Structure 1
């Protein structure tokens, strides 16, 4: 079994020395208050950006040849199916 080492926090004097050394490094300058305010939690950056065009999740069955055709078009085949269906709806919608 591996022995876990304990983290030892620096003393106040060691912390001041570390901070002073870091301030001398031009590539490691402390963040300004404005930079800290502009920071966003990493959790907020995860995942796909929210779309203004919300899509709904549905379960639907298509003929194998329809699925095979769209899959053969490569990556983005589901978006292509959506585009084709939206074009169909636009052409066949009744204008009031």
Structure 2
């Protein structure tokens, strides 16, 4: 348990019992039953989302390159994932062309 603040005043046992009784009497308090617990155990747990950029494949290299505005505009009109589509177009070009003959 973390350390308490210097001016902290803990409730007495009687006050603590009264607070607990009031919470248990509250109609909004969740009282788990065997049926509820069984149903909850079948729910798929939430996937924890990690902040930041996802880990890449490690097979790409970041660089700065300049393209004509009309080329970039054409790919950007394709929407989300336009950079991947541009990469795939360059890969396709490499399959059908020999860059050493340019």
Pairwise TM-score range, normalised by the shorter structure: 0.3 to 0.5
Bigger CA radius of gyration: 2
TM normalised by structure 1 equals 0.48
